[in-house]
A and B are shown apart, each in its own frame.
Chain A
């Protein structure tokens, strides 16, 4: 009996020591997963995911607190990329994706109060107190955080025009045979359903 207890206790002690030492030796600093997730997010810092910025959302996903489908500016592409990275199932987006737009300041109405400049998370608004403010179109991420603070409501979101440089081929439609159909008795597939 004593031998049994001693043997097991001895084993446990030895393994405990080894594990204790390894815990010290292999300590992990920081959160490298959050970095990788953050690299996939669109960095609009808009807060639509209910976290104050893209990095906090990345950390929440890494900690397992947040789901991967909460970023509307990232769109479906980001959900799929996150699902791929983390090995989770891709889900449809929680919120609606809005059209890509940039903010434009109506210069006639702007009073130079700098409230929008302070709100912009990427410093895309140029201006100073009592001077004209204007949005740098290339840097604007469309997060819409500047719309609220403006006291005279002179900022509008203008959808991005599609031009030759941005034009893309559309994804080919799935064939009528592949789309789930109600039984219509239409065997030939000639009568197309509305997309």
Chain B
């Protein structure tokens, strides 16, 4: 198949052999599992269980409230100990609510498995999507976008190609490689199911050329008559070919539009791990409760891939890989280019944890002091999204957030190629992340301000209306009073009283007058 190239990219030493030398290890069930309520892009879930409840393996313990959200299931059977704030794998090192499960030794499914659908070909897309949603499946390449939403493209878009992302371009990470070697037919079955859901006419399964065993395993697992339907393509191993936009460009030469999605080109991209999870959900009714994690790096004694339950603490995984090597000072979740540092190895594995990378100080030489930008243009040469990182840097630095968007900030995939080649050691990706969040934050504040203004203006209207109504009421009352004649009875009584009072006064004065006359007469 004729392949194309995307602009830029880097050839990096892949460091994959360290972790693929050993076979996949399936970890036992740990004593405690810490399952975060939010393991995906989108709103957090709502817990369905309370402390003390018994849960069986695969039982839904937390519910998705929105469309862009995914259910969370119990990875094993046991009792819910508490729902508490626990450190989670996030660059902020903050804690978030987690359901803590104390496992019993039984690992029982109970009746929490959904019905097995061996006849999935007869089912329609909607029920299959509902099954994917019920199983809590999210993108397992690291971004953790809820898959059921991704498999439901906008009305009017026709999907003709399913792209399976087996590239795994970042150094050190090999979980997808091991998955492809270990259970290629499961991945292929998952791909067939998704192609059925989307109505795709072909599947392009892309694997980087540094994974010959995986390529061979997949080709062997594929049925002979499927060679046209499922094309297994070996692509050059350049970082970041695994980004879905770059992958689509390599396979088809077409660029996903800037504000658009691959679905606009009629394509959907899925990770191999996601496909296997879909297959487990449809064929066996199992929700997403475990994943393969690569535990690797010079700071690990026996680097290998580990299949672990969601909620297992990092410390337990590292112990299963022989523990830390002496002198470890850094633990990164993800790879060396796009991963972030973790402060506490008690954080649990979540659905998007693809790799744990431990390093010692001698493995990552100090980057040196940050120096001024010399406008050399190296960053522009390597940017896979064909942006101008230098200009984005200047605008982000000067907080010119309008220009930074004009130059395509939101097309940046934060791959780190630019920062990798910068001779001045400028942390470019930090600037872009800062700028993106500033812009989102300002947008949120602007919406809040607009809402506050509406409420203020309505309040002013309300007050004016109340004043008006009060004035009207007063005016009406006054008018009524003025118009109204006092009734005759009252008038007579009042007149009578006035008469009597006058008579009394006159009578007194007459009396006085007569006494005065008598006095005059006397004197």
Question: Do A and B make up one complex?
Answer: yes
Stretch at the interface among B155-163, B258-266, B357-365, B448-456: B448-456
Indicate whether A163 reaches chain B with its CB closer than 8 angstroms: yes
What is the chain B residue whose CB lies nearest that of A121?
B456
Which of A43, A77, A123 is close to B450, meaning CB atoms less than 8 Å apart?
A43
Which of A121, A172, A178 is close to B372, meaning CB atoms less than 8 Å apart?
A178
Inter-chain contact B369/A43, CB cutoff 8 Å: no
CB distance from B90 to the nearest CB of A (A): 6
Q: Mark A63-99, 1 if CB is under 8 A from B, else 0.
A: 0000000000000010010001000000000000000
The CB with the most chain A CB atoms within 10 A, among B88, B91, B92, B456, is that of B456
Inter-chain contact B91/A169, CB cutoff 8 Å: yes
* Bound complex: CA A170 to CA B396 (Å): 12
Indicate whether B371 reaches chain A with its CB closer than 8 angstroms: yes
Inter-chain contact B96/A164, CB cutoff 8 Å: yes
Indicate whether B84 reaches chain A with its CB closer than 8 angstroms: no
CB within 8 Å of A: which B7-52 residues: 38
Which of A84, A164, A167 is close to B38, meaning CB atoms less than 8 Å apart?
A164
Q: How many A-B residue pairs have CB under 8 A?
A: 81
Indicate whether B490 reaches chain A with its CB closer than 8 angstroms: no
* Bound complex: CA A42 to CA B442 (Å): 10
CB within 8 Å of A: which B433-450 residues: 433-434, 437-438, 441-442, 445, 448-450
Chain A contacts for B458, CB-based, 8 A:
123
Which of B90, B370, B455 is close to A122, meaning CB atoms less than 8 Å apart?
B455
CB within 8 Å of B: which A172-191 residues: 172, 175-178, 189-190
Chain B contacts for A121, CB-based, 8 A:
456, 459
Inter-chain contact A164/B94, CB cutoff 8 Å: yes
Which of B90, B96, B427, B452 is close to A44, meaning CB atoms less than 8 Å apart?
B452
Indicate whether B399 reaches chain A with its CB closer than 8 angstroms: yes
Inter-chain contact B92/A177, CB cutoff 8 Å: no
Inter-chain contact A42/B449, CB cutoff 8 Å: yes
Which of B38, B370, B455 is close to A175, meaning CB atoms less than 8 Å apart?
B370
User: With A42-B449, A169-B91, A176-B369 as given contacts, are A122 and B434 in contact (CB-CB < 8 Å)?
Assistant: no
CB within 8 Å of A: which B449-485 residues: 449-453, 455-456, 458-459, 462
Chain B contacts for A130, CB-based, 8 A:
none
- Chain A: how many interface residues by the 8 Å CB criterion? 33
Inter-chain contact A168/B438, CB cutoff 8 Å: yes
The CB with the most chain A CB atoms within 10 A, among B371, B445, B450, is that of B445
Inter-chain contact B94/A163, CB cutoff 8 Å: yes
Chain B contacts for A175, CB-based, 8 A:
369-372, 426
CB distance from A168 to the nearest CB of B (A): 4
Indicate whether A137 reaches chain B with its CB closer than 8 angstroms: no
User: With A164-B38, A169-B430 as given contacts, are A45 and B372 in contact (CB-CB < 8 Å)?
Assistant: no
Q: Mark B388-401, 1 if CB is under 8 A from A, else 0.
A: 00000000000100
What is the chain A residue whose CB lies nearest that of B452?
A43
CB distance from B392 to the nearest CB of A (A): 13
Interface residues of A (CB under 8 A from B): 38-39, 41-45, 53-54, 77, 80, 84, 121-124, 139, 141, 162-164, 167-172, 175-178, 189-190
6 cross-chain pairs, A with B, having the tightest CB-CB distances, nearest first: A175-B370, A43-B452, A122-B455, A43-B453, A168-B437, A167-B92
Interface residues of B (CB under 8 A from A): 38, 88, 90-92, 94, 96, 369-372, 399, 402, 426-427, 430-431, 433-434, 437-438, 441-442, 445, 448-453, 455-456, 458-459, 462
| Extra pairs beyond A80-B399, A139-B452 (15, CB < 8 Å) | A38-B453, A42-B445, A42-B449, A42-B452, A43-B450, A43-B456, A53-B456, A122-B455, A164-B38, A164-B88, A168-B434, A168-B438, A168-B441, A172-B427, A177-B370
